[in-house]
Amino acid sequence: MPAKAAAAPEESEIRRRRRTQAILEALKSRYPDPQIPLHHRCPFELLVATILSAQCTDETVNRVTPELFRRFPTPETLARADLGEVEELIRPTGFYRQKARAIVECSRRLVKDHGGQVPPDMEALVSLPGVGRKTANVLFAAAEIERWPGWPHDRSRPDGTGIVVDTHVTRLSRRLNLTEHLEPDRIEQDLMRLLPPEEWSRFSLRLIYFGREVCTARSPRCGSCPLRQWCPSAAYAGSPPWMAARRTAARRTRQSR
C-alpha cells in the first residue's frame, strides 16, 4: 500500500490570520508602493493589455502594446480594425487569433453598450468578451492605486471586487499555506477572508513581485527568503508534499471527466 501523502500543516484561523499579517507587513516593507506592471495610460489600454497577458509575460505585452495603441488608440478605432492586422500586431503574445477577436469584440461592446468607456462595474466588466474576474480585478486594483476618476478608490462597499489571482499568487498562496485550493475563485475567497479589504489590491501585486524575484516557480530562494519563518514550505525547498498531492488529485479528476 502506498504511503499516505503528507497533509498541509493544520493551524487555527487565529494563527493563520496572525501569520498572514506578518507576511503582509514583510511584503509591505519590501514593496512599499507596488504599481501595475502592464504599461497603460487609461482604463481602456489596461483592459486590452490584461486580456493580452493571458499565458504571456507582462514584458512581452509591454513590447507589443505601444504599436497596437498607436494604430488603435481608442475603443472606436479598435472596434473598426481589420482582424488580420490586429493578429499580426499581437502575434508575440501567443494565442493571437483568439486574443485579437477578444479585444476587437470587447471594443465593439464598449462602443455599443458603454459609450466607448470602460465601465467601473464588476458585473458589466465580466460580461465583456475576453474579460473574466481576474481581468476585472486588475482594473479595480489600478483604479484604487492610481485614483482613476469615477472608479471606486477603496473597498469599503460590497461591490463584488476582490483580489487578483494569477499564477504567482496561486503558487505563493499555496506555498505559504494561505489556501489549499487550486481554483482561482476559491483562492481569492480564502485571501479575502484573511486580509482587510484595503490591502487587497496591493497584496496581490506584492505577491507577484515577490514571486518573480524570490519565490520563483522552479528555483525558489528559500534559504534567504525573508518570509521563511512564516512559510511551512521552506523546509521542503518550496515543493511541499501537500502541493504535489493536490495537483495529482486535480489531474486525476480532470482525466476522469
How confident is the model at residue 2, as a pLDDT?
A: 37
Question: DSSP class of residue 92?
Answer: G
Please tell me whether residues 50 and 141 are part of one structural domain: yes
CATH number for the domain harbouring residue 236: 1.10.1670.10
115-63-119 Cα angle (round to 5): 20
59 falls within a domain: yes
How confident is the model at residue 155, as a pLDDT?
A: 73
**Domain housing 70:** 43-146
92 falls within a domain: yes
Please tell me whether residues 138 and 181 are part of one structural domain: no
Residue that is last in its domain, among 99, 118, 146: 146
Q: Judge whether 27 and 206 are in contact, CB under 8 Å.
A: yes
180 falls within a domain: yes
Please tell me whether residues 231 and 183 are part of one structural domain: yes
Hey, what's the cell of 226?
A: 525573508
239 falls within a domain: yes
211 falls within a domain: yes
Please tell me whether residues 86 and 172 are part of one structural domain: no
Catalytic residue among 134, 159, 185, 190: 134
User: DSSP assignment of 5-68, as one string?
Assistant: PPPPPP--HHHHHHHHHHHHHHHHHH-SS---SS--SSHHHHHHHHHHTTTS-HHHHHHHHHHH
Please tell me whether residues 235 and 214 are part of one structural domain: yes
173-178-182 Cα angle (round to 5): 55
Please tell me whether residues 19 and 99 are part of one structural domain: no
Annotated active-site residue 112? The verdict is no
pLDDT in tens, 191-243: 999 999 999 999 999 999 999 999 999 999 999 999 999 999 999 999 999 88
Among the residue ranges 44-48, 156-160, 180-184, the one predicted with the least confidence is: 156-160
Please tell me whether residues 142 and 56 are part of one structural domain: yes
3 falls within a domain: no
| CA dihedral over 85, 89, 90, 94, signed as positive or negative | positive
Q: How confident is the model at residue 251 (pLDDT cuts 50, 70, 90)?
A: low
Give the mean pLDDT of the chain. 92
Q: Judge whether 38 and 53 are in contact, CB under 8 Å.
A: yes
Residue that is last in its domain, among 146, 181, 199: 146
Annotated active-site residue 58? The verdict is no
Residue that is last in its domain, among 146, 174, 191: 146
Q: How far is CA 89 from CA 42, 72, 93, 152, in A?
A: 20, 11, 9, 33
Number of domains in the chain: 2
Q: How far is CA 127 from CA 93, 122, 123, in A?
A: 23, 9, 6
Which pTM does this prediction carry? 0.90
Percent of the chain with pLDDT over 90: 86
1 falls within a domain: no
Catalytic residue among 28, 58, 121, 166: 166
Please tell me whether residues 23 and 62 are part of one structural domain: no
Please tell me whether residues 51 and 28 are part of one structural domain: no
d(CA 90, CA 194): 38
4 falls within a domain: no
b/e sequence 41-65, b meaning 16+ C-beta within 10 Å: eebbbbbbbbbbbbebebeebbebb
CATH number for the domain harbouring residue 83: 1.10.340.30
* Amino acid present at 115: G
- Could you give the 3-state DSSP secondary structure of residue 109? helix
